[in-house]
Structure 1
Amino acid sequence: MPSPIVRLFAPALAASVVLTSPIPAAAQDRESEARLRKIEAEVRALQRKVFPGGDGKFFQPEIDAGQQSSTTSTTSPPSTTAVTDILARLDAIEGQLQQLTARSEENTNAISQLGTRLAALEGPAPEPIAPAGPSAAESNLSAMTGGASQVATTPAAAATRPAAKPAEAAGPSAERLAAVQAILKPQSDDAGDDEYSYGFRLWDAGFYPEARQQLSIFLEKYPGHPMATYGRNLMGRAYLDDGNPREAAPWFLKNYQTDKEGRRAGDSLLFLAESMIALKDTNRACIALAEFGETYPALATGRLKDQYEANRRKVNCS
């Protein structure tokens, strides 16, 4: 049988047991549900911040300012988000574009300056430099033909200005045309040589006007051809042999002055003396002969010795 003390304190002990016993499961579930709803509301608010929009695909606001203020103190915002990453990348792209734009402007300016310098360098072609230190005899040769140098620089004009003859004024006869057409033009791998050779064949056959026309074509199309020195000399021969030494002289002088080392430069100087002899200009003929003997001593004692001596016998040079 319980003691009186036990009976006295039994109700109090029972009450304390009831107060200190665990909370029922239902109460715990309600508390967990409330906390879960609060977390879900905060997640929805965070999602609206990261993915703003009103098309219904995102969560609608379910917490008020009070709830936000109460959770702000316990939850720190994320350090980075997708939006901030995109903004950072956009900033980097804009910086690169600014650098590219600046570099493009610098290149454009540099190209413009380079174009200006090139335009200045490619200005009007400089005047040709005259040969330095011509000899006294050569200076006399330039003056003795009465403007020969100027005439010689226009081969087309000289070639198309043959001496006027009654037969030529009336035009070539049918027989002459047939004879010219019978002279065949060479066909080889060297077109320039073919043009010269055809002119030589016409000259050799005695068709001097036709030869001059053909040689003019050759010299105009192939001025730097190795046979050009032959062509200019033969052009003078086509005038001289046709009885026109005054038109021949400029061509001989031009060939000599253009290339003194040319294969026919010495020949042209000697033929220039012959042209002056034909014009009965003894003084200039002697100048040409003296220049020939001084400049081409090997020719004067070799290949052209007979022609040189024959011309010297025609004039009395003191």
Structure 2
Amino acid sequence: MNRSILILMSCGVAALAQPAAAQDVGPRVDRLEREMRAVQRKVFPGGAGQMIEPQITAPQTQAAAPGVPATSAIADLTARVSSLESQLSSLTGQIEQNQYQLRQLREAFEAYRKSTDAKLAAGVALPAPVTSDAAPPARDVAAAGDTRDAPPPRINAPAATGGDRAKQVAAIAKPSTGDAGEDAYTYGYRLWQAKLYPEAATALKKMVADYPQHRRASFAQNLLGRAYLDDGKPSLASIAFYDNYKKMPDGERAPDSLLYLGEALVQLKKPADACKVYDELGDVYGDKLTASMKADVAKARLAAKCK
């Protein structure tokens, strides 16, 4: 009698334990479904919150052979839920890591784009253009409307070295008119005319630095670019021309700097870029260009085959 009562009581305890376990598994399954939907919204933004079946599924397990003892259904369900929780946690970590790496790639690309745009704007990457031995136009003469300092046609001659070069530099007269800025520009111009390009560049840079507000500062900056071009330093020349246009857009030689920059691009076989420069020149300075310069721009556009 007592034994029968014990057996009935143990069966009742087991029956009560299974609903309790089921109650514990239910909330965990609900939470897993919510988290899986959140993960799918991250991975499949266009899924509209629907559960999407995976393309790769785990192989189905073989059914247990008859007669093999099996665990209870509640124990199996609990184990499967625990496994799902572990897999979901791992998947969430992988998604966060991928998003972090994607942000790093975007930041690196943005930094590279900004650096490249800055170099292109400054013309640093431009290779050497082919310079002409023809006489420079009268736009670079020492005084506006005064052609007394216009250089004669250039003659190819070997560069002087050592003592000969020092004598050539010493032979260049430094003007003294009482206008220090004018004198500094004229001296740089005379050095450039004598093909003493490094010395001319030094003098012209100093003039711009010492007298940035002088009307000849724009002349000096433009001629600095010409000196660099003639000395086989096109990268520095590009920077000089670009700075003259950007820093002194109202200067008298800002349009000339754009024209020379366009000519250099044509020589570099970049006619499309040259046409953009000529378009900029016309848009900004169209009503201020002299008849002579308009003719030069027309010839340049024809050479670049601009539309």
User: TM-score normalized by structure 1?
Assistant: 0.46
Larger Rg: 1
User: TM-score normalized by structure 2?
Assistant: 0.47
